[in-house]
Protein backbone atom coordinates (compact mmCIF):
# COMPACT_ATOMS: atom_id res chain seq x y z
CA UNK A 1 0.00 0.00 0.00
CA UNK A 2 1.45 3.33 -1.04
CA UNK A 3 1.15 6.55 0.97
CA UNK A 4 -1.10 8.01 -1.75
CA UNK A 5 -3.49 5.07 -1.37
CA UNK A 6 -3.49 5.52 2.40
CA UNK A 7 -4.38 9.22 2.14
CA UNK A 8 -7.35 8.42 -0.12
CA UNK A 9 -8.99 6.24 2.54
CA UNK A 10 -11.51 7.77 4.91
CA UNK A 11 -11.29 7.32 8.68
CA UNK A 12 -13.53 4.26 8.83
CA UNK A 13 -11.68 2.55 5.98
CA UNK A 14 -8.38 3.17 7.79
CA UNK A 15 -9.65 1.38 10.88
CA UNK A 16 -11.03 -1.53 8.88
CA UNK A 17 -7.79 -1.90 6.94
CA UNK A 18 -5.68 -1.85 10.11
CA UNK A 19 -7.84 -4.59 11.61
CA UNK A 20 -7.62 -6.65 8.42
CA UNK A 21 -3.83 -6.39 8.31
CA UNK A 22 -3.47 -7.25 11.98
CA UNK A 23 -5.56 -10.39 11.45
CA UNK A 24 -3.43 -11.29 8.42
CA UNK A 25 -0.24 -10.80 10.45
CA UNK A 26 -1.65 -13.05 13.18
CA UNK A 27 -2.52 -15.73 10.61
CA UNK A 28 0.99 -15.58 9.17
CA UNK A 29 2.52 -15.98 12.62
CA UNK A 30 0.35 -19.04 13.20
CA UNK A 31 1.36 -20.49 9.84
CA UNK A 32 5.01 -19.92 10.67
CA UNK A 33 4.61 -22.16 13.70
CA UNK A 34 2.60 -24.92 12.06
CA UNK A 35 3.98 -24.97 8.52
CA UNK A 36 6.60 -23.49 6.28
CA UNK A 37 5.97 -20.06 4.77
CA UNK A 38 7.38 -19.49 1.30
CA UNK A 39 7.50 -15.69 1.34
CA UNK A 40 8.74 -14.53 4.75
CA UNK A 41 9.03 -10.95 3.46
CA UNK A 42 5.25 -10.70 3.95
CA UNK A 43 5.85 -10.11 7.66
CA UNK A 44 7.80 -6.91 7.03
CA UNK A 45 5.42 -5.69 4.32
CA UNK A 46 2.38 -6.11 6.53
CA UNK A 47 4.04 -4.43 9.51
CA UNK A 48 5.07 -1.46 7.35
CA UNK A 49 1.55 -1.14 5.97
CA UNK A 50 0.10 -1.18 9.48
CA UNK A 51 2.59 1.52 10.52
CA UNK A 52 1.69 3.67 7.49
CA UNK A 53 -2.01 3.40 8.25
CA UNK A 54 -1.57 4.14 11.94
CA UNK A 55 0.65 7.14 11.18
CA UNK A 56 -2.01 8.60 8.89
CA UNK A 57 -4.69 7.89 11.49
CA UNK A 58 -2.71 9.69 14.23
CA UNK A 59 -1.98 12.62 11.93
CA UNK A 60 -5.67 13.04 11.21
CA UNK A 61 -6.49 12.86 14.92
CA UNK A 62 -3.87 15.52 15.67
CA UNK A 63 -5.18 17.76 12.87
CA UNK A 64 -8.72 17.40 14.16
CA UNK A 65 -7.64 18.19 17.71
CA UNK A 66 -5.76 21.33 16.69
CA UNK A 67 -8.55 22.61 14.46
pLDDT in tens, 12-56: 999 999 999 999 999 999 999 999 888 999 999 999 999 999 999
Average pLDDT for residues 58-63, to the nearest whole number?
Answer: 95
Alpha carbon distance 12, 9 (integer Å): 8
pLDDT over 80 at 11, yes or no: yes
Q: Which domain holds residue 21?
A: 3-66
What's the pTM value of the predicted model, to 2 decimals? 0.90
Q: Of 66, 18, 7, nearest to 46 (Cα)?
A: 18
DSSP 14-36: HHHHHHHHHHHHHHHHHHHHHS-
| Helix, strand, coil share (%) of the chain residues, nearest 5 | 85, 0, 15
Domain count, the chain: 1
Amino acid sequence: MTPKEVRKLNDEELTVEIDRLRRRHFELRNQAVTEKIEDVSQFAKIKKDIARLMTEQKAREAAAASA
